[in-house]
Chains A and B, each alone.
Chain A
Amino acid sequence: MSTNFPIGWVLRASTVGFAVGCRLLQPNTPHFGDLVKVALQPDEIDIFGLIYDVQVKDDPAVRQLILAGEMEPEAIMDQRENRLVPIEISVLVVGYQQNGFMIQGLPPQPPLSLNIIMVSDEADLRTFTENLDYLRLILNARQIPVDELLVANIRRATFAHPPEQQYAFLLKVGRELARLLNHDLVRLEGILRRIKPVVSR
């Protein structure tokens, strides 16, 4: 995963988040916690978000197959590759880039239907995580598995750094989380335990 590549198109959107539809799941992507990017063409704004949910919805063909009970491998393959309803990926908006400035906050406008969604590469991830204000956006999100998302995203971001910088990065994240979660030490400890480096320095 070293270059940006498209995973789907915007289905529905709002300023705080959007849904992405895609035809099929690649083996490695998209992943829970991945940083994705939508380029809004005329304004040259890139909107960044984190994947927090992937839903594979049923459709009449699947129901029929299940009721028929006989599943030929070809039928299963065909059903997976030529779906009637797209796979739906939910994204939490965490920032945008405009005129070269990275801002961790909500963009002035949401993306539009059928804008293309790309998965960010490691360089993008490193640039984005130079600033950790987005952690607060995650923590404040409603009705999504916040702690899981946080942990998954931090893991990804850590591995986007060269090994000798990973500990320092984690420490920086840990301190920011300690600041943000100062009111809830049990939760803080839970998260720290899960992001802690496997082999520390």
Chain B
Amino acid sequence: MINQNLNELDQFFPRAATRQLGMVISGSLSKGVEVKLFPEAPVESIAVGRYIVIEGLQLQFFGMITDVTLDNTNPQFEKTPPDVSDPFLREVYASSSTFGRLHVSPMLVLDDKNEEPRPVKTVPSHFSLVRLATEEDVNLVFGQEDETHFHIGEPLDMEDVRVHLDLTRMVERSVGVFGKSGTGKSFLTRLLLAGVIQRHAAVALIFDMHNDYGWEIQSEGHYKVKGLKQLFPQQVAIFTIDEESSLRRRVRPDFVVKLNWTEIQPEDLETLRTTLDLSDNMIGTAYTLRRSWGDKWIRKLLTAEKYELDELVENSSINRSSLDALSRRLERLERFEFLQENWAGDSAKKIIEYIDKGTSVVLEFGRYGNSLEAYILVANYLTRRIHQMYVERVERALGDAAHEPRQLMIVIEEAHKFLDPQVARQTIFGIIARELRKYNVTLLVVDQRPSGIDEEVMSQIGTRVTALLDNERDLNAVFMGVSGANALREVLARLDTKQQALIMGHAVPMPVVIQTRLYDSDFYAAMGFQEPEELRGTRNDRVTMMRGAVEEGID
């Protein structure tokens, strides 16, 4: 009977070279299925994160190994292990009384009639056979590279299979790139952005804190990698708020961003609440000041004589100590050279002009990258303005897609500073994350401490790309609202410290652990980049140099 079933299976699913690993012995949809390993399948050769196919009676299930355990047929084996000094006895026990067990999370169903893999809604029946997924199986799941599908890496242990992200789906909702410091977040983000830009999936506005995206980026191995402007000179513009720094790095910025003091509004201070240590009273004071003094309120506050302030306190509800405290806090902004009194331009408009042409903008912070206040202030102000324009235009378009502005993806780093639960509700970034794609603007947040991000915002992050994280709370945050999260945690906690990531959500059919695609000259070439003539000869040397350095870095 069983033999007959096996034969039928062989007919329907030719086994090619893959070996059966074991069979399903129990499980549930919510917790995953248990697989008993056959004696011929050595436990030690099976790694968490590998893909498997379960041949059910009618359906084929595609899943991932999330745990490996040892089990036995009699608990007595644990208390008084048998004498295994004799190889024969050892082999008998090892192949009968004791066995390996896999915990598998079924993720997709592949059935013959339906080309597209579907999410699982049931479990395979008892004794269904389990085998490692072949390249064809995995390719079927992650699709082929095409207009919208972008190659982001390879599944672990499957060098010849490519994982593709659906970029169109990715930019429809906010994206998060998480991981500890040095795990490759900036490299991953650059890969994602390169895909988005090359395939015209969206236009990006990148608040580039550490000059990671525009031009020649210093990597850890002391070699330089190319920025987005170098790869896509026609589609990317570099803006800067620190022209000196840009020029020093031999970047020719397309525009130097400046802000007029009058442009900064109390709303912008809301986001700075934690960073500048502002109390409710101080923010209240700021609103009052603007009401009495108009747009010039900050400058006026910072330059006011004592008697002017006395007068103000007397004639309003403002509390003197809040006023002084606010003034002291705002003094810190005075050292920002990009804040000017006579600046008549409009940086936000300039950015929109580029975006409208389909040009992505990298805004370099130069030396201000070390000042969180500057970063938050500028990002918040510009985003607030741009979002406002987007809302107006989308509403004017009255649902006519042709008149709507282009899909925009705004990239911020240290995202928890913008999106922590205290400020996420009021600030523009919280609003964008929550309103979804209604106004064609989404976020790409890069962060090493996802637990600091407001839960509601986190739940709106459609695609999560996560490199190694080890803090318990960060892990919880990343998996919030993901079914089968516990199983995936095991996988995530075991990633290499670099260049590996777990991708889950909107842009992939199922969670997948990847070896991140190398950001190297092959990648540049794939993006259409041509080496200048005089460099070609040395290209191979540099490739090997880069690869060598990358490997050294993995510890």
Residues of A within 8 A of B (CB): 167, 170-171, 174-175, 177-179, 182-183, 185, 189, 192-193, 196-197, 200-201
Q: B76 near A: Cβ within 8 Å?
A: yes
Q: If A175-B95, A182-B73 touch, does A170 touch B83 (CB 8 Å cutoff)? A: no
CB neighbours of B89 from chain A (8 A): 174, 189, 192-193, 196
CB neighbours of A197 from chain B (8 A): 88
The chain B residue sitting closest to A178, CB to CB, is B96
The chain A residue sitting closest to B82, CB to CB, is A189
Q: If A185-B76, A189-B82, A189-B83 touch, does A178 touch B88 (CB 8 Å cutoff)? A: no
Q: If A196-B88, A200-B88 touch, does A174 touch B77 (CB 8 Å cutoff)? A: no
Top 6 closest A-B pairs, CB basis? A174-B92, A178-B96, A175-B96, A196-B88, A178-B97, A200-B88
Interface positions, chain B 47-76, Cβ under 8 Å from A, are 73-74, 76
A171 and B91: CB pair below 8 A? Answer: yes
B73 and A192: CB pair below 8 A? Answer: no
B92 and A185: CB pair below 8 A? Answer: no
CB neighbours of B532 from chain A (8 A): none
Q: List 26 A-B contacts (CB under 8 A).
A: A170-B88, A171-B91, A171-B92, A174-B89, A174-B91, A174-B92, A175-B92, A175-B95, A178-B92, A178-B96, A178-B97, A179-B96, A182-B73, A182-B97, A183-B74, A185-B76, A185-B80, A185-B82, A189-B89, A192-B92, A193-B89, A196-B88, A196-B89, A200-B87, A200-B88, A201-B87
A184 to B: closest C-beta gap in Å: 9
Interface positions, chain B 85-115, Cβ under 8 Å from A, are 86-89, 91-93, 95-97
By secondary structure, the A interface counts as helix
Partner of A174, one of B73, B74, B83, B96: B96
B96 and A185: CB pair below 8 A? Answer: no
CB neighbours of A183 from chain B (8 A): 74
CB neighbours of A171 from chain B (8 A): 88, 91-92, 95
B contacts with A, residue count (CB < 8 A): 18
CB neighbours of A200 from chain B (8 A): 86-88
Interface positions, chain B 107-129, Cβ under 8 Å from A, are none
Most A CB atoms within 10 A — which of B73, B80, B89, B95?
A: B89
A193 and B86: CB pair below 8 A? Answer: yes
Most A CB atoms within 10 A — which of B77, B87, B96?
A: B96
The chain B residue sitting closest to A201, CB to CB, is B87
Cα A178 to Cα B92 with chains together (Å) = 8
CB neighbours of B93 from chain A (8 A): 178
CB neighbours of B86 from chain A (8 A): 193, 196, 200
A3 to B: closest C-beta gap in Å: 32
B72 to A: closest C-beta gap in Å: 9
CB neighbours of B92 from chain A (8 A): 171, 174-175, 177-178, 192
Cα A197 to Cα B95 with chains together (Å) = 17
Q: If A175-B95, A179-B96 touch, does A185 touch B74 (CB 8 Å cutoff)? A: yes
CB neighbours of B39 from chain A (8 A): 175
CB neighbours of A177 from chain B (8 A): 92
CB neighbours of B82 from chain A (8 A): 185, 189
CB neighbours of A193 from chain B (8 A): 86, 89
CB neighbours of A185 from chain B (8 A): 74, 76-77, 80, 82, 97
Most A CB atoms within 10 A — which of B80, B91, B92, B96?
A: B92
A23 to B: closest C-beta gap in Å: 41
B77 to A: closest C-beta gap in Å: 7
Interface code B403-419, partner A: CB below 8 Å = 1, 0 otherwise?
Answer: 00000000000000000
Cα A170 to Cα B87 with chains together (Å) = 12
B97 and A174: CB pair below 8 A? Answer: no
The chain B residue sitting closest to A196, CB to CB, is B88
The chain A residue sitting closest to B87, CB to CB, is A200
Interface positions, chain B 6-45, Cβ under 8 Å from A, are 39
B83 to A: closest C-beta gap in Å: 7
A192 to B: closest C-beta gap in Å: 5
CB neighbours of B80 from chain A (8 A): 185
Cα A193 to Cα B39 with chains together (Å) = 21
A15 to B: closest C-beta gap in Å: 27
B86 to A: closest C-beta gap in Å: 6
Cα A97 to Cα B91 with chains together (Å) = 33
Cα A179 to Cα B92 with chains together (Å) = 10
CB neighbours of B96 from chain A (8 A): 174-175, 178-179
Cα A197 to Cα B92 with chains together (Å) = 12
B379 to A: closest C-beta gap in Å: 66
B88 and A192: CB pair below 8 A? Answer: yes
Q: A171-B91, A177-B92 are in contact. List 11 more A-B contacts (CB 8 A).
A: A171-B92, A171-B95, A174-B96, A175-B39, A175-B95, A178-B96, A183-B74, A189-B89, A192-B88, A193-B89, A196-B89
